[in-house]
């Protein structure tokens, strides 16, 4: 599929790719997953990929469950995780992993033992500790010691994964993943810590819709204040950072470019 693509260089804050609408975002996100799986296949290893919750991954999943996308993914060369999860059972409509399972993973040929949902049947701290163990062993087996691709969303309050404004998890530097109570939601969340996200080879934010335009402008053009705008904590140490956004979300960005 071909569409107009504008690339905006945001220096250390990443590269912004502006596509016309949310459908093009979902297509590009699906393409990124196909591409890491193909690369891993040529290297006879598995790519580690973290999915996010939110609306765009939902559409991406629908695409991946259908031809031609479904047949292009090297499913046996993927190892899937979630960058965050809600504290609900897998069969709850709020479950990020449950949603992905029902929406596409149950309809594609990925070996079940390569799909790693957070366990919400134990207590939250044990769940996070067990997830860290699973993450560590996957990264060791992978030989790269890091994620190939982490997909993230950005909330209109600036949160990403389940790193919410004002929470201590934004500054977690020891553990790769944590459980924490998020006061503004009055709910427990499980989330990757910044140290894990920032070690990835590639991080892609998916940000769509006019409702995100003000926050995207603040996060990319404004001063750095990670406690207020946790999305700003995402700065891969040596990996790539991309913002895949639609024209509506990009409307207030100060930088522009004319790359075609």
Interaction site with ligand 6PG (CB under 6 A) = 52-56, 84, 96, 153-155, 159-161
Q: 152 vs 2, 47, 250, CA distance in Å?
A: 24, 17, 17
CB of 207 to ligand 6PG, least distance (A): 7
Question: 117 or 161, CB closer to ligand 6PG?
Answer: 161
The encoded tokens of residue 93 equal: 């409509």
By the 8 A CB rule, do 156 and 114 touch?
A: no
The nearest distance, CB 140 to ligand 6PG, in angstroms, is: 26
Which CB, 40 or 98, lies closer to ligand 6PG?
98
Helix (H), strand (E) at residue 96: helix 96-103
Q: Single out the residue of 234, 240, 202, 206 nearest to residue 219, CA to CA.
A: 234
226/10 Cα distance (integer angstroms): 17
- Quick one: 96 or 142, whose CB is closer to ligand 6PG? 96
Closer by beta carbon to ligand 6PG, 40 or else 84? 84
The tokens describing 130, both together, are 């067990």
**Does residue 147 have a cis bond before it (omega within 30 degrees)?**
no
CB of 9 to ligand 6PG, least distance (A): 24
List C-alpha distances in Å: 39 to 32, 77, 169. Answer: 11, 9, 32
- Give the residue among 116, 129, 128 at the shortest CA–CA distance from 190: 128
Nearest-angstrom CA–CA distance, 115 and 47: 12
Cis amide prior to 206 (ω within 30 degrees): no
Structure tokens at 188: 């427990």
- Cα–Cα distance between 194 and 199 in angstroms, integer? 9
In the bound state with ligand 6PG, the residue whose beta carbon lies nearer, of 56 and 232, is 56
Q: How far is the CB of 227 from ligand 6PG (least distance, A)?
A: 17
Shortest Å distance, C-beta 75 to ligand 6PG: 23
Query: C-beta of 83: minimal distance to ligand 6PG in Å?
Result: 6
Residue nearest to ligand 6PG (CB): 153
d(CA 162, CA 84): 6
User: In angstroms, what is the minimal distance from the CB of 42 to ligand 6PG?
Assistant: 30
CB nearer to ligand 6PG: pick between 41 and 251: 251
Q: Judged by CB, which is closer to ligand 6PG: 128, or 154?
A: 154
């Amino acid at each position: 599929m071909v569409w107009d693509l504008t690339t905006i260089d945001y220096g250390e804050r990443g590269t912004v790719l502006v596509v016309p609408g949310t459908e093009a975002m979902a297509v590009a996100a699906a393409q990124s997953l196909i591409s890491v799986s193909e690369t891993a296949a040529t290297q006879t290893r598995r790519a580690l990929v973290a999915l996010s919750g939110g609306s765009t991954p939902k559409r991406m999943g629908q695409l991946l469950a259908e031809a031609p996308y479904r047949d292009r993914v090297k499913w046996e060369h993927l190892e899937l995780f979630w960058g965050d999860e809600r504290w609900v059972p897998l069969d709850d409509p709020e479950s990020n992993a449950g949603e992905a399972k029902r929406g596409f993973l149950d309809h594609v040929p990925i070996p079940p033992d390569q799909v790693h949902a957070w366990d919400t049947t134990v207590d939250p701290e044990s769940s996070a500790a067990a997830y860290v163990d699973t993450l560590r062993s996957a990264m060791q087996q992978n030989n790269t010691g890091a994620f190939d691709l982490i997909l993230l969303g950005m909330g209109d309050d600036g949160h990403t994964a389940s790193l919410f404004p004002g929470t201590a998890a934004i500054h977690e530097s020891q553990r790769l993943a944590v459980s924490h109570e998020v006061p503004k939601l009055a709910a427990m969340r499980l989330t990757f810590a910044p140290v894990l996200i920032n070690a990835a080879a590639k991080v892609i934010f998916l940000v769509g819709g006019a409702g995100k335009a003000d926050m995207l402008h603040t996060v990319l053009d404004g001063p750095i204040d990670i406690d207020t705008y946790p999305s700003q904590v995402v700065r891969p140490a040596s990996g790539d950072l991309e913002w895949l956004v639609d024209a509506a979300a990009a409307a207030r960005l100060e930088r522009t470019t004319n790359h075609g």
